[in-house]
A = this chain, B = another copy of it.
Amino acid sequence: MTLWGSRMSAPLDPRVREFTASLEADKRLAPYDLKGSLAHARMLKRQRILDAATADRIVAGLEEIAREIEQASFPWPDDAEDVHSAVEARLREKIGDAAGALHTARSRNDQVALALRLFTLDAIDGVDDALDDLQTALLDVAREHVDAVLPGYTHLQRAQPISLAHHLLAHVEAFDRDRARLGEARARVGVSPLGAGALAGTSHPIDPRSVADDLGLLGTFRNSVDAVSERDFVAEFVFCCALAAVHASRLAEEIVLWTSSEFAFAQLDDRLTTGSSIMPQKKNADAAELIRARSARGIGAVTAILALLKGLPLAYDRDLQEDRAALYEAFDVARDGAHMLATLMRGLHFDHAAMRRACERGYLTATELADHLVRAGVPFRDAHAVVGRIVRELSERDRSLESLTLEELRRYHPRFGASALEEVTVEHALASRSSPGGTAPVRVREALAAADARRRARAGER
């Protein structure tokens, strides 16, 4: 029988029970519900709201249940409304009517909000760990490829030669910001709502601060209505996950491109690819495709949680139960995708020669020629026009920039000096971009060290 059964003249319709039940989805919340209940029971004892004996029995019962959950021996009932009811029913089996005293000075509303916040804190750590794994993999790979050159692309057209390490470090930066966002979200998530009651607070002499301390939370709620009606902490976490998943999708897209026959910049370990049931020659980067695809689910989760909250009057509405669908989905997508991507990066074998060849073709150092003229006093716009003409005419005759003689260059513009011939080499182009944050290997080595230090610092912060 439900807690409110006495109020109703008829038992709950089984169709409603099934429709409103959240047990299956919420089993993941069970350990967090127990942590919260334990902290609540200890506070009730400290504040003498419950007598010590009752409180002790409750705590002992809850600890037993927590072990059952941990050891997967908890006997989940078929008909429980939700995970909180299931735990409560189990507690009643263990300690009898004393179980009811756990409801003192607490409502389902603040109880659920607490469990959700504790879960989300762990989820933040889970995603952060996965991003750390991914950054570590990227840094490890980058370290091997500082002097390896590949075309940097704009509009998927070869643009300028860059260091592969430099390219990978761009992704490290993006994931670093994802981690920063998650870290900042932690302060908003880690606020205890316990003591808000149904929505108005309680008349019992509770001590929310000590509950927060007990749970390792930084703060306590400031407004009881806000504490039970808001899920912006979920929306924020879901967004952080979706954005991290979108970042992952961009790197995944590159893996798909790089391992195509057309790019052929890299091969994945056989153990990381799948084949085809009909085409014996195929080696597919399925995992990368799924990382890309699942970012769409992350985006869908952000949409869902925001559309869910839109226009809801305060305080608690049952709609909030659905926040978990978005929460779990975004969490799994971000965490699992990041770990998978780390694994893929570690099994990606780059072909330096192929990447270099791609730089040589395609007039990638045309900018160097333009810059040469600028240094010789030619306005940039004019220099750009001259080099544009050179490229157009060479490409019509299928010749490379490197094949130009000084004499030919000077036919295009008299200010070309002999050094231009060296400046159009890929290595020179790479080394010359030594401005701060640039791709010159000397800069990239500094950046690698700094990025690694930052990564370690983030890990240490927690």
Contact = CB atoms under 8 A, between A and B. Distances in A.
Interface string A212-236: 0000000011111111111010011
B282 A203 contact: no
A382 interface: yes
A28 interface: no
Given A343-B16, A437-B195, A152 B260 contact: no
Interface stretch (A72-80, A117-125, A239-247): A239-247
A76 to B, nearest CB: 18
A167 B382 contact: no
Contacts of A104: 374, 380
A155 interface: yes
Interface string A140-173: 0000000000001111111111100011011111
A391 B4 CA distance: 11
A188 interface: yes
Given A198-B154, A203-B434, A278-B108, A159 B311 contact: no
A339 B18 CA distance: 12
A453 interface: no
Task: Return the 8 tightest CB-CB contacts between A and B, nearest first.
Answer: A201-B438, A4-B275, A300-B304, A100-B381, A281-B363, A293-B319, A7-B388, A155-B284
Contacts of A226: 169-171, 173-174
Given A222-B447, A287-B20, A435-B204, A307 B299 contact: yes
Nearest to A11: B271
Instruction: Report the contact-size class of chain A (Cβ under 8 Å from the partner).
Output: 35 or more
Contacts of A19: 287, 290, 336, 340
A432 interface: yes
A261 B358 contact: yes
A235 to B, nearest CB: 6
Contact of A154 (B97, B199, B246): B199
- Main secondary structure on A side of the interface with B: helix
Contacts of A173: 222-223, 226, 230
Contacts of A10: 269-271
A98 interface: yes
Contact of A271 (B12, B305, B382): B12
Interface stretch (A60-68, A251-259, A403-411): A251-259
A196 to B, nearest CB: 6
A362 B166 CA distance: 31
Nearest to A395: B281
A352 interface: no
A390 interface: yes
Interface in A30-81: none
Given A3-B277, A304-B299, A437-B196, A261 B384 contact: no
Contact of A433 (B200, B230, B379): B200
Contact of A170 (B167, B223, B235, B308): B223
A367 interface: yes
A232 B225 contact: no
A250 B250 CA distance: 17
A279 interface: yes
Nearest to A203: B432
A154 B276 contact: yes
Interface string A168-203: 011111100110110010001000000111111111
A314 interface: yes
Nearest to A101: B379
A245 to B, nearest CB: 8
Of the listed residues A273, A315, A436, the one surrounded by the most CB atoms of chain B closer than 10 A to its CB is A436
Contacts of A310: 246, 249-250, 292, 295-296, 299, 307, 310-311
